[in-house]
Amino acid sequence: MAIARLVRQAKRPYGLWVKMTAVTILGICFIFVWGVFSNSSTSVTTQRESFEDIAEPVPSSSSVIQSQSQKKSISKPEKHEVVPHLIEKNEKRINGSSSSVTHHKKVLPKGKDKKGVAHGKKRVHEDNKVNQDKGLANTDLHEKKEEGEEEVEGEEEVSDGEGDVEDMDDGDLAESVDQDVEMLGDGESVEEEETKKTSKGKMKGPLFDPNAKYKWKLCNTRSKHNYIPCVDIEVGGGKVASYRHRERSCPRTPFMCLVPLPHEGYKSPVPWPESKLKILYKNVAHPKLASYIKGHSWLMESGEYLTFPQNQSEFKGGILHYLESIEEMVPDIEWGKNIRVVLDIGCTDSSFGATLLDKEVLTLSLGLKDDLVDIAQVVLERGFPTVVSPFGRRRLPFPSQVFDAIHCAGCSIPWHSNGGKLLLEMNRILRPGGYFIMSTKHDGIEEEEAMTSLTASICWNVLAHKSDDVGEVGVKIYQKPEGNDIYELRRKKIPPICKENEKPDAAWYVPIKTCLHTIPIGIEQHGAEWPEEWPKRLESYPDWMNNKEKLVADTEHWNSIVNYSYLNGMGINWTSIRNVMDMKAIYGGLAAALSQQKVWVMNVVAVHAPDTLPIIFERGLVGVYHDWCESFGTYPRTYDLLHADHLFSRLKNRCNKPVSIVVEMDRILRPGGWTIIRDKVEILNPLEEILRSLQWEIRMTFAKDREGIICAQKTMWRP
């Protein structure tokens, strides 16, 4: 009846308005009903509102951080003092209201600790509680750093389009994200939840599936216990003559197997500083190393050790005589003052970097991975900075204008061949006014003439040339020009000046260009001025840095974290720590905070993050560019501590298999080594389960305001 009446009313002159009103009401009702019933089915992610559901760890392999959807019954936890200043205060608003916070206390799993650390007891000194505010002093800094990185996330620094998977740009990587993490190769896992993406290709699902189960197997490669995935040819058999690629070439799928321990066994390395004089031979054993030892006096086998007699080197007369002769030839070279960061090409003699370390010089050895001798592994075992990289057609993973000096002693590199490309790469990374020191035993006339012509064409000045009768070597010291005027005075403009669009700091998978980059001259460019002498250099902030306040805040932030947490509150025996890696460095704040400790830090700056590596070198520290979707250029079991500050959350939309990053950490970390991981709670929850599947000991966990920290220790376990 009501409908009939409505129809009759519609026939009247004013019936049109009734029609419009009815349609409007019905439309609003439809939108309301549709919105109510569609919210639950279309929501993709939920936000954690509190930590009240996060359970205490039990001495078994239970989860450290449990999600709301996976609550488990647990035994009554023991009392444990927490470290509030380990996690930065995060005052983010959620849906217009502040998130509720529960201080999350954790208990360490009981077990044996040879270092004398009792599990289950207090891990934090009472005096640390007084300093809680100091550890939280830079709360805003952390959030600003992360926001700054989000702006450039997904933008590859450089690419030359060569290779297979390793040369894919960010768009290709985002599109190739796997729908599951079923392990390829020797590893196996099960992940049922598909990776959710937005229309732009970004993942909206979890980085690690909390329901995944992992079953690990050993790698079966030709290099066996010395396997470097992106350098070694991993074919197990066949008639392949070489073990290594001439250029960096990663497997098409990330390797998901565990590198075995040496066949003769493995022991905890000799601690620093004893490792300067001796290391355990079986930790670095290699067939070609045995034959190498017989023909060289600077290292020798003594029982179970490989020893390094003092003042012995490849140079007759000793390494001290060699260094003194360099200072005599060029008095402006003052080791440990104006010369702080040095690149040593070839790793033919680690006594060079070892002796310079006593003079406060930080020498980064470049291991040219070939089929000769694995000396780079020996250098790392001794506790000296080293990175392994092929050096052929592509640039080295360093920014331009950063090394104070470059040293090449019998490195057998044909500098003059192929248009002098390799020497042009040295020119790119050498600081204006920096020194190139080359010593050779037997220089042919043709090679010497070619080198003379090449160095003249790039305007290097020969400061000194001396034949050392005692050391039986010829030493030449070149200096790079400090201005561009001299380039215009060349008769032949070969090599030419690089075009403006040739970025000198682009180094990741970029081919070496046959051109000269101009010398920076403005104070707003890095490399235009020589840094302060060491150690003032560490706390001197360059004029070309736009926002010095960020660098100051970063330094203060990590000083408080290290002094009030890492050194005293983590249970780490720092006397056993020498080789440290900051897997996501920004300004080198962690390395600067650890400068008073007997450690060195490899600062790794991601290729997709803001380019802060020149600042790190400017401070007198060392580092490299790297993409953690690939393996790092180092031997297995070479680092004592890995530090990852929000590394995984920044790689969510880049890597095919984020689990492979954890596998890589297992490869490069020594048994007994430590890792400190700071990240979001939803990432740390499944990440801890992955570490437990690798039989790592979880020494400490802490969570607050959706941020958390895990401190874990690798064991000797292999499947």
Does pLDDT of 411 surpass 60? yes
| In contact, 622 and 599? CB cutoff 8 Å | no
| In contact, 448 and 460? CB cutoff 8 Å | no
Q: What is the CA radius of gyration of the chain?
A: 29
Band of residue 443 on the pLDDT scale cut at 50, 70, 90:
low
Q: Is 188 exposed, middle or buried (0-12, 13-18, 19+ CB in 10 A)?
A: middle
Q: Helix or strand or coil: residue 476? A: strand
Does pLDDT of 27 surpass 70? yes
Select the more confidently predicted residue: 89 or 710.
Answer: 710
Polymer length of the chain: 719
- Residue percentage of the chain with pLDDT more than 70: 70
Q: Which helix (H) or strand (E) holds 642?
A: strand 639-645
Band of residue 139 on the pLDDT scale cut at 50, 70, 90:
very low
User: Which of 21-25, 112-116, 363-367 is predicted least confidently?
Assistant: 112-116
CA–CA separation, 43 and 641 (whole Å): 40
CATH 3.40.50.150 location in the chain: 313-530, 548-714
CA–CA separation, 478 and 248 (whole Å): 30
CA–CA separation, 320 and 502 (whole Å): 41
Q: Is 539 exposed, middle or buried (0-12, 13-18, 19+ CB in 10 A)?
A: middle
- Residue percentage of the chain with pLDDT more than 90: 48
pLDDT of 130 reads 33
pLDDT tens across 444-462, in order? 778 888 899 999 999 999 9
Cα-based distances in Å from 460 to 135, 218, 396, 430, 518? 49, 50, 21, 11, 14
pLDDT of 637 reads 97
Q: Chain centroid to CA 38: how far?
A: 44
Within 13 A of 552's CA, how many CA atoms are on the CB side?
Answer: 7
Pick the CATH number of 313-530 from 3.40.50.150, 3.40.50.720, 3.20.20.60, 3.40.50.1370: 3.40.50.150
Does pLDDT of 373 surpass 80? no
pLDDT tens across 506-532, in order? 999 999 999 999 999 888 888 889 999
pLDDT of 295 reads 79
Does pLDDT of 109 surpass 70? no
Mean pLDDT of the region 695-706: 95
Mean pLDDT of the region 618-626: 97
Q: What share of the chain is helix, strand, coil (3-state, %, to 5)?
A: 30, 20, 55
* CATH dotted code for 548-714: 3.40.50.150
Select the more confidently predicted residue: 94 or 33.
Answer: 33
Alpha-carbon dihedral of residues 316, 318, 323, 328, nearest 10 degrees? -70
pLDDT of 349 reads 73
Does pLDDT of 368 surpass 70? yes
Q: CA triplet 88, 89, 93: central angle to 5 degrees?
A: 135
Band of residue 194 on the pLDDT scale cut at 50, 70, 90:
very low
Alpha-carbon dihedral of residues 584, 585, 591, 593, nearest 10 degrees? -100
User: Which of 85-89, 387-391, 712-716 is predicted least confidently?
Assistant: 85-89
pLDDT tens across 637-668, in order? 999 999 999 999 988 778 888 999 999 999 99
pLDDT of 719 reads 94
Q: Helix or strand or coil: residue 647? A: helix
Mean pLDDT of the region 126-147: 37
Instruction: Please provide the average confidence, as pLDDT, over all residues in the chain.
Output: 76
Does pLDDT of 313 surpass 80? no
CA–CA separation, 655 and 627 (whole Å): 9
Does pLDDT of 381 surpass 80? yes
Select the highest-mean-pLDDT range: 205-219, 332-346, 541-555. Answer: 332-346
pLDDT tens across 42-84, in order? 333 333 333 333 333 333 333 333 333 343 333 333 333 334 4
Mean pLDDT of the region 484-497: 92
Mean pLDDT of the region 347-358: 86
Does pLDDT of 257 surpass 70? yes
User: Which of 217-226, 324-333, 607-616 is predicted least confidently?
Assistant: 217-226
User: Which of 335-349, 372-386, 561-575, 664-678 is predicted least confidently?
Assistant: 372-386
CA–CA separation, 671 and 676 (whole Å): 15
pLDDT of 103 reads 36
Tell me, what DSSP letter sits at residue 568?
T
Does pLDDT of 111 surpass 70? no
The type of residue at 465 is H
Q: Any idea which residue has 């990053």 for tokens?
A: 661
Q: What is the pTM of this model?
A: 0.76
Select the more confidently predicted residue: 88 or 3.
Answer: 3
pLDDT of 485 reads 92
Task: For the chain, report the end-to-end CA distance as a whole number of angstroms.
Answer: 80
The type of residue at 345 is I
Tell me, what DSSP letter sits at residue 339?
B
Does pLDDT of 197 surpass 50? no
pLDDT of 17 reads 66
Alpha helices of 277-420 — where are they, by DSSP H?
287-294, 319-329, 351-357, 375-382
pLDDT of 442 reads 66
pLDDT of 692 reads 97
pLDDT of 390 reads 87
Does pLDDT of 584 surpass 90? yes
579-582 sheet: strands from edge to edge: 622-626, 600-606, 579-582, 639-645, 669-680, 707-713, 697-704
Q: What is the 3-state secondary structure (H, E, C) of 132-184?
A: HHHHCCCHHHHHHHHHHHHHHCCCCCCCCCCCCHHHCCHHHHHHCCCCCCCCC
Mean pLDDT of the region 422-445: 90
Band of residue 40 on the pLDDT scale cut at 50, 70, 90:
very low
